[in-house]
A and B are shown apart, each in its own frame.
Chain A
Amino acid sequence: MIRFDHVSRSYGEKEVLCDISFEVREGEIFTLVGPSGTGKTTILRIIAMLEDPGAGTVAVMGTDTRISETRRVALRRQMGMVFQKPAALRGSVAENVALGLKFRKFPPDDISRRVSEVLDLVGLSGYEGRKTSTLSGGELQRVAIARALAPGPRLLLLDEPTANLDPVATEKIENLILSLNEESGITIVLSTHDMAQAQRLASRIAVVLDRKICQLGNPFQIFYQPGSREVARMVGIDNILAGEIVANEGGLAFIDVSGVILHAPCSLDPGTRVTLFVRPEDLFIGTGAITAHSSPRNVLPATILRLIPQGPNTRITVDAGVRLTAVITRQSCEELGLSPGMPVSVSFKANAVHVVPVEKAG
Chain B
Amino acid sequence: MLVKNRNMENTSLESKEVKEVKEVKESKENKEEAKNLKVEVEAENLNFFYGEKQALYSINLKIPEKSVTAFIGPSGCGKSTFLRTLNRMNDIIVSARVEGKILLNNQNIYAPNVDVVDLRRRVGMVFQKSTPFPKSIFDNIVYGIKINKLANSRTELQQMVEQALKQAALWDEVKDRLNDSALALSGGQQQRLCIARTLAVMPEVILMDEPCSALDPIATEKIEELIVELREKYTVIIVTHNMQQASRVSDYTAFFLLGQLIEFDETEKIFTYPKEKKTEDYITGRFG
Partners in one complex: no
Interface residues of A (CB under 8 A from B): none
Interface residues of B (CB under 8 A from A): none
